Amino acid sequence: MTEATGPGAAKIQPRVKTALSPIPYGPRTLGVLLASLGLLGFLALVALRLTYPFELEWMEGITLFSMERLIAGQPLYAPPDFNWCPLPYGPVYFEAARLASLAGFAGFLAPRLISVLASLGLFWLLGSLAGTRRGQAPADGTRGLVAAGFLALAYPFCGAWLDVARPDALAFMLMLAACWNHQRTRDRPDWPGALVTVALALASFHTKQTALLPLLGFFLFDLSRAKFVLLGFLAALGTSLALASVGTSGWYEFYTFDLLAGHGLHWPGAREFLSRDLVFSAPLLVLAGVGLRGSPRALIGLAVGGFLASFLGRLHPGGYDNVLLPLVICAAPLGARGWAQRPKLGNLMLALMLGLGLWIAPDLVPSAQDRKAGEDLVQRIEGLDGGVFSPAHGALLARAGKQHQLHLMSWMDLSASDAGIEQARALVDELEQRLSRGDLSHALVGAPRNLAEAEFVNLLRRYLPREQRLLPAQGPGAMIPVSGAAHRPELLLSREQ
């Protein structure tokens, strides 16, 4: 083979060297591999958790009861009583779970499937938003895959909340769908497209109110092209809230606004936000900072709104690890752009997130012993004579054919708010009346570490003094929830024989 000579040789040789050199593509390939591992890990964990017949997270039970009320044609938003008090969220997720249940999916599988499908939608939407380029340039698929990978890698330390029977995943999927649709239609006068954006934004809010701040950030930072959509959304929001309040005799407003407004702020949560949430999300935030340069203003506004939503979520008295989800979801498109600009740094951050996830992941799957312990508990409850009360484990009562009653989370929402404190006291009075009449012979409770549950346990022990431990303190078979707070049925309280 002869060496190229002549005037064109200098141009030809660099061109050949560039085409054959793998150096510019190595870091991006590694980033795609790390993101793909995160997505595959998420799917593997979901497959191991999806069909677990008991609560993955202690509030899944009240989601199941919300769905069942809708199936039975009963109102979701009604005056609080001893047998029913709803969660302070809109009805969209519960309606979706009802439809899944009518399609043949039983028990927890119906609402969990809605969350899993919403999570898959989140991955796709993140990929689309992060991969979009200006003008007619083709989308950057690797950048989009990395954005989805950020959420998958963050799943373990965001409370493993994306597949549980809770409204978070659906709310944020609808929120991102509104953002994606606006990006798709904003450069042309498309009234149908604008209406779809408004409808999606409205649905996300009526799934969970946390979606409001990211939506406002997204629209406000792109105000020159989003002002009519923003005005339409605010008008539709006000109208829908008024109609919902009228249609429920004011109870929708009571649960979704008055109760939450009366909770005040839990300032120790700010310390937890700084010491935990920002630490776990630091790899993504570093890359999001890099990705600020050259990114669309709307995506910057989305990230700002997500940051504020997570911070305020920690200041809410009931805030748990899932409050980190808005920050991670909304910062992921910027993080992917930062990874594309500095892939070596980006790969280091992806590797850190993967390591954190692998450290946490083994604790996220219920054991075979947990499943066996749950089945044994159900059989034991079936054999109990008389009424049984359980403030945090009504799903076990329902599975055993017993009547479930007021859920502890609903009572906590009432008692922590100036708007609901009187109703909370009335419900405790009713519980004591039922105990004094002998309507309740047993109670299934947790050891009173939590102050709210301790109030119930102290009252119950006065009437149900016999105490039996149901589960081991820790280890396989302890039935410690793999997501959320560690509420579990530890004690059986009974009347003296």
Residue 448 in this model has a pLDDT that exceeds 90: no
- Which of 298, 329, 364 terminates a domain? The answer is 364
Residue owning tokens 């083979």: 1
Same domain for 226 and 375?
Answer: no
Output the pLDDT for position 21. 36
- Has residue 232 been placed in a domain? yes
Residue 147 carries which side chain, given as an amino acid letter? A
- Residues 359 and 372 occupy one common structural domain: no
Instruction: Evaluate whether 453 touches 392 at the Cβ level (below 8 Å).
Output: yes
244 and 99 both lie in a single domain: yes
Q: 5 lies in a domain?
A: no
Q: Please state whether beta strands 491-494 and 440-445 pair in parallel, antiparallel, or not at all (unpaired).
A: antiparallel
Same domain, 211 and 284: yes
Residue 491 DSSP label: E
Of 303, 332, 364, which residue is a domain's last? 364
On the CB side of 447, how many CA atoms lie within 13 Å of its CA? 12
Half-sphere exposure of 467 (CA within 13 A, CB side): 13
pLDDT in tens, 325-345: 999 999 999 999 999 999 999
Residue 248, classified by CB atoms within 10 Å of its CB into exposed (0-12), middle (13-18) or buried (19+), is middle
- Shared-domain flag, residues 221 and 350: yes
For residue 2, is pLDDT > 70? no
Residues 100 and 225 in one domain: yes
Average pLDDT over residues 193-213: 96
Query: What digits encode the pLDDT tens for the residues 370-401?
Result: 999 999 999 999 999 999 999 999 999 999 99
CA dist 278 and 175 (Å) reads 23
Lowest mean pLDDT across 15-19, 24-28, 356-360 = 15-19
Residue 485 pLDDT class (50, 70, 90 cuts): confident
Residues 311 and 411 in one domain: no
Q: In what order do the strands lie in the sheet with 466-469?
A: 387-389, 440-445, 491-494, 466-469
- DSSP lists the bridge partners of residue 443 as 389, 493
Whether 489 shows a pLDDT value over 80: the answer reads yes
pLDDT at site 140:
78
More confidently predicted of 141 and 468: 468
Please state, in angstroms and rounded to a whole number, the distance separating the CA atoms of residues 414 and 87: 10
Number of separate domains in the chain? 2
Q: What is the mean pLDDT of residues 284-291?
A: 96
Average pLDDT over residues 407-413: 90
pLDDT at 496 over 60: yes
Decide if 240 is inside a domain: yes
Query: Are 283 and 373 in a shared domain?
Result: no
Residue 419, in any domain of the structure = yes
Same-domain check for residues 97 and 148: yes
pLDDT category at 451 given cuts 50, 70, 90 is low
State residue 40's pLDDT score. 97
- Last residue of a domain, which of 347, 364, 381? 364
User: What number of CA atoms fall less than 13 Å from residue 64's CA on the CB side?
Assistant: 26
Measure the CA–CA gap between 356 and 358, rounded to whole angstroms.
Answer: 6
User: Lowest-confidence range among 7-16, 65-74, 265-274, 370-379?
Assistant: 7-16
Mean pLDDT of the chain: 90
Beta bridge partners of 492: 444, 468
Judge whether 96 lies within some domain. Answer: yes
Residues 349 and 407 in one domain: no
Strand partners, 468: 492
Instruction: Look at residue 101 and give its three-state secondary structure.
Output: helix
- Give the C-alpha separation, 202 to 205, whole Å: 5
- 20 within domain boundaries: no
State whether 390 and 346 are in the same domain. Answer: no
Residue 16 resides in a domain: no
Range of the domain at 470: 368-494
Q: What is the mean pLDDT of residues 128-153?
A: 82
Both 319 and 389 in a single domain?
A: no
How does pLDDT run across 65-75, given as a tens digit for each residue? 999 999 999 99
What's the number of CA atoms in the CB half-sphere (13 Å) around residue 424? Answer: 19
466-469 and 387-389 as β-strands: parallel, antiparallel, unpaired?
unpaired
Comparison of pLDDT for 26 and 297, the residue scoring more: 297
pLDDT at 368 over 80: yes
Does a structural domain hold residue 6?
no
Q: Measuring CA to CA, which residue among 66, 54, 56 is closest to residue 407?
A: 66
Using a pLDDT cut of 70, give the percent of the chain over it: 92
Q: Is the pLDDT of residue 187 over 90?
A: no
Mean pLDDT along residues 423-438 = 93
What is the spatial distance between Cα 105 and Cα 100, in angstroms, rounded to a whole number? Answer: 6
Name the pTM for this structure.
Answer: 0.92
